[in-house]
Amino acid sequence: MLDLCILGTLRDGERYGYDIARRLEQAGLGRVKGGTLYPLLGRLEEAALLTAEWRPGDHGPGRKYYLLTGEGRKLLDEEKAEWQSFAAQTTALLDERGST
Amino acid sequence: MTNTRYMADLLAALQRGEVDDGRARDLVAEVESHIDESGEDPLEAFGPPDQFADQLMSRGLDETDAESNGGFETRTFRATAFDEMAVLSGLGADGWELVGVRDFGLHARRLRDARSAQRWDYRRRMGVRRGPILEEMRGEGWSPCGQWSWFHYFKRAV
């Protein structure tokens, strides 16, 4: 699911790696280590679900910003719908009592 | 390990893995940017440079050299937890053997000579406890070939 959550953090606009990690942490997913996050970002970029662009910073090496591609947004929408349907069915099953 | 030393070791590990120089420097710069901003220890956040380089390099699984790979070509197919069984069914019929599952990707291999490639059936089981599922499926002649969260994948030669 982490890959899908990463795409989700980019729904409203571009973010750089550390910003994505902070957003995931704020959302309650815990601290995602760089060693997990960056290989995933690389694969999502390779799959053309994200594009990336370097911007210079005030100091240091600058930041690499990630942006959803049209295909990434489409996949995110599809997966979100599937996930909601799966979660609703599972919740209904967990809540089921006494029916045969 | 100092940050400078970590970046140098990571760059060297990527270069040993024959990652294109521009790409390797881009990856190291991104790690540097993250560390610069987060104040984290790179070894703690990314793991040993050699291991992290391996994780970064496993991204390009698409065509590998058939000669050095026992006559197999390997390829990564896009799929999700909601359509992967349909994708796998087609792949198995075409002689693709699943060797791993990761991040929207099914990693598969097939003999270059596709006509003599083995055909495969696939099954998916869901469950939190993998042990009992493995035992049951092995009893029916299935071999495990991938796992993604609570989804467990099995293959069997046709």
Contact assignment for B30 to A3 by CB distance below 8 Å = no
**Minimal CA separation from B81 to chain A, in Å:** 9
Alpha-carbon torsion angle B72, B76, B79, B80, nearest 10:
110
Structure tokens that stand for A70 in this block: 């049209």
Instruction: Give pLDDT, residue B81.
Output: 67
Instruction: Give pLDDT, residue B57.
Output: 78
Which pairs count as long-range contacts for A19-22, CB under 8 Å and 24+ apart, including other chains?
Answer: A20/A66, A21/B34, A21/B38
Number of neighbours of residue B29 by Cβ within 10 angstroms: 18
**Minimal CA separation from A95 to chain B, in Å:** 19
Structure tokens that stand for A55 in this block: 């911007």
pLDDT class of B100 with cuts at 50, 70, 90: confident
pLDDT in tens, A50-91: 999 999 877 777 999 999 999 899 888 988 888 888 888 888
**Minimal CA separation from A98 to chain B, in Å:** 24
Least confident of A25-39, B36-50, B54-68: B54-68
- Partners of B82 on chain A (C-beta within 8 Å) are 79, 82, 86
Contact A42, B56 (CB under 8 A): yes
Give the C-alpha distances (Å, rounded to integers) separating A42 from A3, A8, A84, B60.
11, 16, 27, 10
Residue A21, chain B, CB below 8 Å: the answer is yes
pTM of the full predicted structure?
0.64
pLDDT in tens, B44-82: 999 999 889 888 876 443 434 444 456 788 888 877 766
* Residue B65 dihedral angles phi and psi, to the nearest 5°: -70, 120
Q: ipTM value of the model?
A: 0.84
- B124 vs B107: CA distance, rounded Å: 16
Instruction: Give pLDDT, residue B69.
Output: 58
Which residues lie closer than 8 Å to B86 by C-beta, 6 or more apart? none
E strands, A1-100, where? 15-16, 50-55, 63-68
Among A15, A38, A45, the residue to mutate for chain B (most B Cβ within 10 A): A38
DSSP state of A10: T
Instruction: Give pLDDT, residue A13.
Output: 96
Residue A97, chain B, CB below 8 Å: the answer is no
* Residue A19 dihedral angles phi and psi, to the nearest 5°: -65, -40
Instruction: Give pLDDT, residue B77.
Output: 83
Average pLDDT for residues B102-121, to the nearest whole number? Answer: 83
Contact assignment for A44 to B103 by CB distance below 8 Å = yes
Question: pLDDT higher for B111 or A67?
Answer: A67
> Is A19's pLDDT higher than 50?
yes
Q: State the sign of the Cα–Cα–Cα–Cα dihedral B58, B64, B68, B73.
A: positive
Contact B4, B11 (CB under 8 A): no
